[in-house]
Amino acid sequence: MSDEALIVAYRENQDKKLVGVLYERHAHLAFGTAMKYLKNTSDADDIVMQVFEKLLKELLVKDVQQFKPWLYVVVKNQCLMQLRKKRGPQEIIKELEDKSADEVAQKVQLEEKLLEMEGALSQLKPHQATCIQLFYLDELCYQEIVERTGFDLKKVKSYIQNGKRNLQLMLEKR
C-alpha cells in the first residue's frame, strides 16, 4: 500500500499498526533530518519518537496529500522548537549583555522577520514548503531535491517558483 493509502486506512479504522508501517518506511529519513538540525543521536531519536507519536493524532485531522514531504516539514519544525527551548534565559541574557543596543535591535528585528517567514512557510502547501526549505535554507540543488523528495525536476522547479511567489504574497499581506 502507498503511504497515502495507509493514511486513509488509518483514518477509517485507527489501527496503530498502519502508522507503524509508515514508521518502518520513513523513520530513517526522519532521523536523518533530525540529525541535521540537532547534531545529537539521542536527541534525534527522541524527536523521531515524538513525531510519530504526534502523527497518531495529526493523521486523523490533517489532509496529507504527500506524506514524505509533509513528514519532513513536521520533523524540521519539531527540531526547531526543541532548539528554541534549549536556549535558556541565561544564555539569552548573556548574549544581550555582550551586545550594544544597536546590535540587539538588529537581532530582534531579524528574529521577528525569521519568525514571520517561518509562519508563512508553514502556511504553504507541504510540497512547496519542502522544496523552498531544501533549496533556500538547506541549499540543495534541484537534483538533490529530486532525489530527496521523489518529485520530478519540473515539479521541483514549479514548487519552488510558486512557493516563492506565495511566500512573497503572504509576507506582503502582513
Residue pLDDT, tens place only, 123-143: 889 999 999 889 887 888 999
> What confidence tier does 65 reach under pLDDT thresholds 50, 70, 90?
confident
Q: How many CA atoms lie within 13 A of 138 on its CB side?
A: 19
> What per-residue confidence (pLDDT) applies to 115?
74
Let me know: does 79 contact 86? Beta carbons within 8 Å. Answer: no
- Please provide the average confidence, as pLDDT, over all residues in the chain: 85
Location of C-alpha cell 514549479: 158
Let me know how long the chain is. 174
Residue 61 has pLDDT above 80, yes or no: yes
Let me know: does 48 contact 31? Beta carbons within 8 Å. Answer: yes
Burial (CB < 10 A; 0-12, 13-18, 19+), residue 82, is middle
> What confidence tier does 88 reach under pLDDT thresholds 50, 70, 90?
low
Those residues whose C-beta lies under 8 Å from the C-beta of residue 122, and which sit 6 or more positions away, are 73, 77, 129
Ranges of each domain in the chain: 1-86, 90-174
> What per-residue confidence (pLDDT) applies to 9?
92
- The DSSP symbol for 88 reads -
> What per-residue confidence (pLDDT) applies to 84?
79
> What per-residue confidence (pLDDT) applies to 158?
95
Fold of 90-174: Arc Repressor Mutant, subunit A (1.10.10)
> What confidence tier does 1 reach under pLDDT thresholds 50, 70, 90?
confident
15-39 pLDDT, tens digit each? 999 999 999 999 998 999 999 888 8
CATH class of 1-86: mainly alpha
Q: Which amino acid is at 52?
A: F
> What confidence tier does 118 reach under pLDDT thresholds 50, 70, 90?
confident
Quick check: do 1-86 and 90-174 share a fold? no
- 53 versus 113: which is more confidently predicted? 53
Tell me the three cell numbers of residue 3.
503511504
As a whole number, mean pLDDT of residues 155-168 equals 92
